[in-house]
Structure 1
Amino acid sequence: MDAPLSKQKRFVDWLTQHSASFQKLQFREDNEGCGSVYASTDIAEDEVFLTIPFSPLVLTDGLARKALPDSAQSLDGRTALTLFLMQQRLLKENAFFQPYLDMVPDKIHTALEFDDQDLEHLRGTNAYLTVKELQQKLRQKFNDTMRIVGGELKEQDGYTWEKFLWAETVLSSRAFPAHLFGGGVEGEIVLIPLADTLNHKSRHKATWIKTQQGLEMSGAAASKGDQLFNNYGPKSNEELLTGYGFCIEDNKDDMVTLKTNFSRDPDQERKSAILKQLGITDETIHYLQMDSVPELLLVAMRVMAMNPAETGYYFDLMEQQEQDGTENEEETLKGREQRLQDRNRRTALVLTKELQFIGLRNEFAMLDLIDMLLSTKARGILEWDAQLSAPQNQAQEFAQIYRRGQREILKSCADIIRGMFSVLLEESQSSNMNMERAAFIGSNVQQGALVQAERRPKSSDTYCDAYFKVKAHDEARSMSELKQEAIQQVLLTASSIMNEQREGVFGEALMSAFPGHGWGEKDGGVEEDEELDEETEMAVQMEQDAILTCFLIFESRYPEHFKRFITAAKKFDYSSQLDEDMRDDVQDLHQSLQDTLEATDPEKFDFQSTFTAKAFLWATGLLETLSLSLHIDGDLVSGILAPRDAAPGS
């Protein structure tokens, strides 16, 4: 213990010699063997217990550059500090900052120091790719730096990769942002001896004050013997692991990061334009926290789940807002900038309100997409959990804490999505749901003006994370069970039509029209493990669409289980959105089915008054606008959003 004590005494003497003040502090190891700072006597709340003069104790990039050769002057500030730390370490006893660096561990176990075995314990998580990328970038940074300064700071003289990595981890784990103290610009950092010895405690009161002489620190009250803490600010476990080398159990600031990807969406351009008005781009990172799904993620996923009709409607709405406020030839440049700012702000406000709920079809599709996203991310972690060995060192133990936190956040957010799905399913079957406003695009516009009435039974303020968390707690069904219920109650499929109608006149007609469909089997009569070629798959899809189209027309004339939906649907005609090729296909379908259906029952399948070409166009437009697919237990079930009427007495 003599050596550590002598290092500690040299450090204290060095600080005191250069006017640092810390009379109420003492240094010793904490329960985990780390050097920490404790109160030697009681400290009152907001009492200054630490003062560090700027000069000569604070390490800045300006100070570093003065000690480095000419070749290093073009480097950025962080790299200059990295080389300076290496230089000071190599000078040993001749270095001014040696007493300080003696207190810095020879190896700081941030994730940058993880070896292959440690990295394995991050498999399946965001941090795995983050750390791999950081390690590669840091190695490249070392190579680039040595190409610049290698003529004067040589590897054979000690400027090695290992020391470069050590210096970088010193900065990542101990540096302070310079701008917090009124100096430097965003991104610049400084090292503050003694101040960086205090360990982090989340949400702990810690106040830094800049004075003419230096920096003063105060904070929460402490009793004699209490450990004193700094507060690095809200840090997730991923940030703590990669930058500082530790994780916190039950970290209230922990999060899971997500990015949305529109790259394969055929309507990417218009959807991106809509999201851009809200400040959302392909690079936007969404942060999930415990029991908290960010609203911007829901908005982004609603836009991602838009079908062409929805995209066109909201794109036109955006353009309409952007065209308001015509340009005045006499307006000044400043006036024009103000007008454009006001226009963009107005457009963002309108879209923000409108995108809280687009419609039943879109909301079900959006929740299905997020459920798939969260399930895939959680599954990636769980699958690796089963393959990992027990932790063999502290780095791997921290990795396990991080993994556990990621799983818990994902589960809590998945529960909120499950609560949202449960509420939506319940509302879609409720008589309190205005089917016209809730299900159909354009129903919220009258004579060009937005209708302010809510499109859901409750006010928009009701639908928040806390509300959905309670609903999820009270909902005993799993997400798969809820989706099964949705398929039974709100998703009309060709399969459900065939199963329910096979004994009736409609079923008889459909069996004649589509004899090979496979009544009572999976849609299209396809075996569970049978793979279809592209041509056959398209034929099956066309047949299923034809069945749905015919049923919508039949139900519009003889409503049985969908009266509420059909009554609202009759007020909307989306056939104008069908392109010429699709209109020709509909015409062909109409002609091809006439003889078969009329032969079954010419009264109910009257192609002169009910099953007209116009009716086929109406039903096809409805199908194109309200088509919905749900992922459930590895299968994709497709149909049209068509909530059934509630059972009597329900």
Structure 2
Amino acid sequence: MDAPLSKQKRFVDWLAQHNASFQQLEFREVLTDGLARKALPDSAQSLDGRTALTLFLMQQSLLKESAFFQPYLDMVPDKIHTALEFDDQDLEHLKGTNAYLTIKELQQKLRQKYHDTMRIVGSDLKEQDGYTWEKFLWAETVLSSRAFPAHLFGGGAEGEIVLIPLADTLNHKSRHKATWIKTQQGLEMSGAAASKGDQLFNNYGPKSNEELLTGYGFCIEDNKDDMVTLKTNFSRDPDQERKSAILKQLGITDETIHYLRMDSIPELLLVAMRVMAMNPAEVGYYFDLMEQQEQEGTEDKEGDPNVREQRLQDLTERTGLVLAKELQFIGLRNEFAMLDLVDLLLGTKARGIMEWDAQLSAPQNQAQVFAQIYRRGQREILKSCAEITRGMFSVLLKESQSNNVNMERAAFIGSSLQQEALAHAERRPESLDTYCDAYFKAKAHEEVRSMSALKQEAAQQVLLTASSIMHEQRDSVFGEALMSAFPGHGWGEQGGGVEEDEELDEETEMTMQLEQDAILTCFLIFESRYPDHFKRFITAAKKFDYSSQLDEDMRDDVQDLHQSLQDTLESTDPERFDFQSTFTVKAFLWATGLLETLSLSFHIDGELVSGILAPRDAASAVS
């Protein structure tokens, strides 16, 4: 407390006169909105409780020595440096973080609140009499930094607040034992044992640094309660409506906020990202399963509930999806895609902070020092969560190469509506149920490689791309025929294609996507005759008719592709490219269905590597 000793003594004497007990921190004079309304004019009676308290603080401050609460207000600083008081230079030190936009928005809303309030009470509480924006801001920061929830004092609706002189002088200490008890005499606080001369602390609760900075004006180094907030955005997803419906069943909406903590990614965020990573086939499969679940429930409506529950459990085990509560695993393709999206999200968030770090000057005041503490905490949390994501990706990649996991089945979970697919699909492998835990065990004795290195390996081991097909050219005639058909974008070069940040016009981008799809389609048909590197994958793929999921427009496009490639490829080698018995329209539909179901992309060092999920056989895997 920085107030002069005379003010401190006056405050202590005033507390004693009004029955405050210092051993129990007990005080009965509390500033409530009810008390505030009694002192305010009729024009203020329609205002909400917080605004009434704000005006009351302004009024008491302007009354000076005649104010009942003046001894208390003497102890309140004239300027409380919460983030609401940050000027443009202070805000500069928050650029790139969540808090920057949050605080700017709060400042704008608060200024608008002042103008709206003065339109209501301005005839009674005039700006020229001291009811200024600056005084309003001061009163609001008093409330944000010192107010208690009203229910602590035995009353008040949700969200109502009160000011309790003396009790609000205690500083915050994380995880400090502090208990507030409402008694017949007043409010008592008990806490950890303290000796004479020790500072007494309160515990504001598990507050993140963003909350502390915004509401109280300080941050804590290595705050165990710190977090990074994230929101998922489906607004640009062409399948937004159906995906939002899935998330709604799980209690997740566009407004759901996910909280990242040190070494902790919330499961609900992973669920949301799995849904975001769903392709149309997986979304359709999910809704088909939901329909089956509803039918099972309807059929058993009058039956034994235990039997009904067992049937639903059997359905879940048969399909490999956990319905109604959470999506813990959809399939190998989806899990790789989800982890790639999470890595991209975390990386984008971290880069948004670090890009500003180099541009910021050294802190010039305490507000900027706290802003730097906040920035460091955000970076460290994002870094720790990126390490978790990297570890999960590493374990998943190892599992995809394991002989103990039937990956061709796992890869096809969520890929077909056919009963044959349902009969063959299996649940998420047991070894994947705790693959996050497996990462932490591995971390203790084995350094995890960079995410870029892991994705490069994944691209080689489980991703079949147009450039990898053209680069390997195990059949030279086949490779030359494809290169003559698609000469424009360097598909025959290692890494051929386009860098992620390279600007392309819409027509070129569409042309490249069509070319890649055509190359993959031809390769799948070619490989299906005599499987070599992808025997396990092709053998599994032949069991299912994915073409049943293609709509009429897609089927017409496949017919056109078949016709356009026939002359080019058949003229190269009619025996290899037999469009009558091998490269048939039916084969093109089959391959296109596979492509639509199992397409996968990885973001690797600024490049987007796209292809089809096709785990290689272990014996022929590329090292």
| TM value normalised by structure 1 | 0.87
The equivalent residue for 1:274 is 246
8 Å contact 2:396–2:432 — kept in the other structure?
A: no
Question: Structure 1 CA distance, aligned partners of 2:293 and 2:121?
Answer: 56
1:50 aligns with 2:25: yes
Question: Structure 2 CA distance, aligned partners of 1:2 and 1:554?
Answer: 81
CA distance change for structure 1 residues 497 and 458 in 2, over 3 Å: closer, same or farther?
Answer: same
1:67 aligns with 2:39: yes
Q: Deviations over 1:522-560 (max 9, x none)?
A: 677779997543333322222221111111112121111
Question: Structure 2 CA distance, aligned partners of 1:142 and 1:168?
Answer: 10
Residue identity opposite 2:47 in structure 1:
L
Q: Deviations over 1:145-176 (max 9, x none)?
A: 11111111111111111111111000000000
Residue 458 of structure 1: which of 407, 411, 431 is its match? 431
| Post-superposition offset of 1:76 | 0.3
The equivalent residue for 1:468 is 439
CA distance change for structure 1 residues 141 and 490 in 2, over 3 Å: closer, same or farther?
Answer: same
How does 1:476-555 map onto structure 2 within 5 Å?
476-501=448-473, 504-516=476-488, 518=490, 520-521=492-493, 532-555=504-527
Residue identity opposite 1:155 in structure 2:
E
CA distance change for structure 1 residues 527 and 87 in 2, over 3 Å: closer, same or farther?
Answer: closer
8 Å contact 2:227–2:259 — kept in the other structure?
A: yes
The equivalent residue for 2:161 is 189
CA distance change for structure 1 residues 605 and 457 in 2, over 3 Å: closer, same or farther?
Answer: farther
| Post-superposition offset of 1:78 | 0.3
| Post-superposition offset of 1:254 | 0.3
The equivalent residue for 2:21 is 21
The equivalent residue for 2:305 is none
| Post-superposition offset of 1:510 | 2.2
CA distance change for structure 1 residues 313 and 581 in 2, over 3 Å: closer, same or farther?
Answer: same
Residue identity opposite 1:240 in structure 2:
L
CA distance change for structure 1 residues 545 and 75 in 2, over 3 Å: closer, same or farther?
Answer: same
Question: Structure 2 CA distance, aligned partners of 1:239 and 1:193?
Answer: 22
Unaligned runs of 5+ in 2: 303-307
| Post-superposition offset of 1:224 | 2.9
Residue identity opposite 1:495 in structure 2:
S
8 Å contact 1:516–1:525 — kept in the other structure?
A: no
Question: Structure 1 CA distance, aligned partners of 2:142 and 2:447?
Answer: 49
Question: Structure 2 CA distance, aligned partners of 1:240 and 1:527?
Answer: 42
8 Å contact 1:291–1:469 — kept in the other structure?
A: no
8 Å contact 1:524–1:544 — kept in the other structure?
A: no
| Post-superposition offset of 1:354 | 6.0
The equivalent residue for 2:10 is 10
Aligned identity (percent) is 87
Tell which deviates more after alignment, 535-544 or 304-313: 535-544
1:303 aligns with 2:278: no
Residue 219 of structure 2: which of 222, 234, 247 is its match? 247
CA distance change for structure 1 residues 354 and 431 in 2, over 3 Å: closer, same or farther?
Answer: farther
How does 1:190-229 map onto structure 2 within 5 Å?
190-229=162-201
Question: Structure 1 CA distance, aligned partners of 2:46 and 2:16?
Answer: 35
CA distance change for structure 1 residues 319 and 10 in 2, over 3 Å: closer, same or farther?
Answer: farther
| Post-superposition offset of 1:567 | 1.6
Question: Structure 2 CA distance, aligned partners of 1:258 and 1:13?
Answer: 49
Question: Structure 2 CA distance, aligned partners of 1:483 and 1:459?
Answer: 18
CA distance change for structure 1 residues 99 and 170 in 2, over 3 Å: closer, same or farther?
Answer: same
| Post-superposition offset of 1:444 | 9.6
CA distance change for structure 1 residues 523 and 443 in 2, over 3 Å: closer, same or farther?
Answer: closer
Question: Structure 2 CA distance, aligned partners of 1:472 and 1:636?
Answer: 28
CA distance change for structure 1 residues 6 and 459 in 2, over 3 Å: closer, same or farther?
Answer: same
Residue 258 of structure 1: which of 227, 230, 239 is its match? 230
The equivalent residue for 2:406 is 434
Tell which deviates more after alignment, 547-556 or 253-262: 547-556
Tell which deviates more after alignment, 321-330 or 281-290: 321-330
8 Å contact 1:553–1:611 — kept in the other structure?
A: yes
CA distance change for structure 1 residues 287 and 516 in 2, over 3 Å: closer, same or farther?
Answer: closer
Tell which deviates more after alignment, 366-375 or 509-518: 509-518
Q: Deviations over 1:227-281 (max 9, x none)?
A: 2111111100000000001000000000000111111111111100000011111
| TM value normalised by structure 2 | 0.91
The equivalent residue for 2:563 is 591
1:76 aligns with 2:48: yes
Question: Structure 2 CA distance, aligned partners of 1:313 and 1:291?
Answer: 33
> Residue 639 of structure 1: SS of its match in structure 2?
strand
Residue identity opposite 2:555 in structure 1:
R
| Post-superposition offset of 1:373 | 1.1
> Residue 528 of structure 2: SS of its match in structure 1?
helix
Residue identity opposite 2:439 in structure 1:
F
> Residue 52 of structure 1: SS of its match in structure 2?
coil
| Post-superposition offset of 1:70 | 0.5
> Residue 458 of structure 1: SS of its match in structure 2?
helix
Question: Structure 2 CA distance, aligned partners of 1:447 and 1:571?
Answer: 8
8 Å contact 2:146–2:168 — kept in the other structure?
A: yes
CA distance change for structure 1 residues 326 and 352 in 2, over 3 Å: closer, same or farther?
Answer: closer
Aligned residue pairs total 606
The equivalent residue for 1:231 is 203
| Post-superposition offset of 1:479 | 1.2
Question: Structure 2 CA distance, aligned partners of 1:117 and 1:251?
Answer: 25
The equivalent residue for 1:611 is 583
RMSD: 2.9
Question: Structure 2 CA distance, aligned partners of 1:573 and 1:111?
Answer: 59
Residue 163 of structure 1: which of 106, 130, 135 is its match? 135
> Residue 4 of structure 2: SS of its match in structure 1?
helix
How does 1:73-112 map onto structure 2 within 5 Å?
73-112=45-84
1:117 aligns with 2:92: no
Tell which deviates more after alignment, 534-543 or 141-150: 534-543
Residue 290 of structure 1: which of 262, 265, 278 is its match? 262
Question: Structure 2 CA distance, aligned partners of 1:178 and 1:327?
Answer: 51
Tell which deviates more after alignment, 538-547 or 413-422: 538-547
The equivalent residue for 1:34 is none
8 Å contact 1:179–1:185 — kept in the other structure?
A: yes
> Residue 27 of structure 2: SS of its match in structure 1?
strand
Q: Deviations over 1:505-529 (max 9, x none)?
A: 4223323443555453367777999
8 Å contact 2:152–2:182 — kept in the other structure?
A: no
CA distance change for structure 1 residues 265 and 519 in 2, over 3 Å: closer, same or farther?
Answer: closer
Tell which deviates more after alignment, 205-214 or 519-528: 519-528
8 Å contact 1:208–1:218 — kept in the other structure?
A: yes
1:360 aligns with 2:332: yes
Question: Structure 2 CA distance, aligned partners of 1:126 and 1:515?
Answer: 46
CA distance change for structure 1 residues 362 and 529 in 2, over 3 Å: closer, same or farther?
Answer: closer
| Post-superposition offset of 1:222 | 2.0
8 Å contact 1:313–1:441 — kept in the other structure?
A: no
The equivalent residue for 1:564 is 536
CA distance change for structure 1 residues 562 and 472 in 2, over 3 Å: closer, same or farther?
Answer: farther
> Residue 610 of structure 2: SS of its match in structure 1?
strand
CA distance change for structure 1 residues 22 and 140 in 2, over 3 Å: closer, same or farther?
Answer: same
> Residue 8 of structure 2: SS of its match in structure 1?
helix
Question: Structure 1 CA distance, aligned partners of 2:276 and 2:301?
Answer: 39
| Post-superposition offset of 1:323 | 5.6
| Post-superposition offset of 1:424 | 1.4
